[in-house]
Amino acid sequence: MSNFFGLISEWFESIPRIPLAEWTDTMIAFLTLHLRGTTRAISEVLQTYIVGLQDLLTIIPPLLLILLIVIIAWRVAGKSVALLSALGLLFILNIELWDVTMQTLAMLIIAVFLCVLIGLPLGILAAKNHTVHRIITPILDFMQTLPAFVYLLPAIPFFGLGVVPAVITTLIFAMPPVIRLTNLGIKQVPHDLMELGESFGSTFFQILFRIELPLAKSTIFAGINQCIMLSLSMVVIAAMIGAKGLGGIVWSAIQTLNMGMGFEAGVALVILAIILDRITQSFGR
């Protein structure tokens, strides 16, 4: 018996090591060489939008912008959330973190917008087509569990340093819940409501827009809410490759052991997270 296992292990050891690391390196080098033109072009465009939005948010007088956000919060989520937003944002303004918070917010808006733009159709497709669902599911698992650092660095050769690779890595990390929950929300639409749509002569898109999406709304918004929260948690990690904003402050505070500064930026991040969470949650209702 032991002889048998001896033989097996001898045979196993004779198999050469699979050079996954080398393959990855070669692959990235290959892709960098051939895709760089495209990715750099994407990077340029994204850069323009993100910086544009950052400029816009910082150009508006802070108090005016706070008033706007509070009005939105009040209309969408009610009095208490509006009050919370007012106090939180005024506090951020008071501790002089307004501009960096707006940088973070701009990055976040672009990242979440792209997540929804790509994730929503993919989620619908996955709900409608079994093959798409089976292909997408392992990819989503991969995106959610692969440590961010592993794809953070390879993003640099493609998109350069700065805010763009930060947004791209945020996309990878934060898009899965949008896809998953869109898929779930649409699959949960009761069968007889689908039959209702069909039997009254609805087209594919009429069923999608008049029955499925409205009924899946709260589930989809739960996905978008998750997406925002995950994006915020990527802010600090993304700062390591040159994204500024609140993450940048935290990152430099860590490097300089400046605990007070780090805590301030951290609290600002939490305030931003809570306001966005409450507002998007009420959208879903």
**Residue ranges in contact with other proteins by CB under 8 A:** 190, 192-193, 195-203, 206, 210-211, 214-215, 217
**Closest distance of CB 214 from other proteins, Å:** 5
**Closest distance of CB 210 from other proteins, Å:** 7
Nearer to other proteins, 134 or 210 (CB): 210
- CA distances to 42, 110, 112, 285 from 178, in Å: 22, 15, 10, 17
Nearer to other proteins, 3 or 199 (CB): 199
Nearer to other proteins, 17 or 191 (CB): 191
Nearer to other proteins, 40 or 217 (CB): 217
Nearer to other proteins, 9 or 206 (CB): 206
Q: Which two tokens stand for residue 26?
A: 């070669």
**Closest distance of CB 199 from other proteins, Å:** 4
Q: Which two tokens stand for residue 188?
A: 């949960």
**Closest distance of CB 40 from other proteins, Å:** 45
**Closest distance of CB 133 from other proteins, Å:** 19
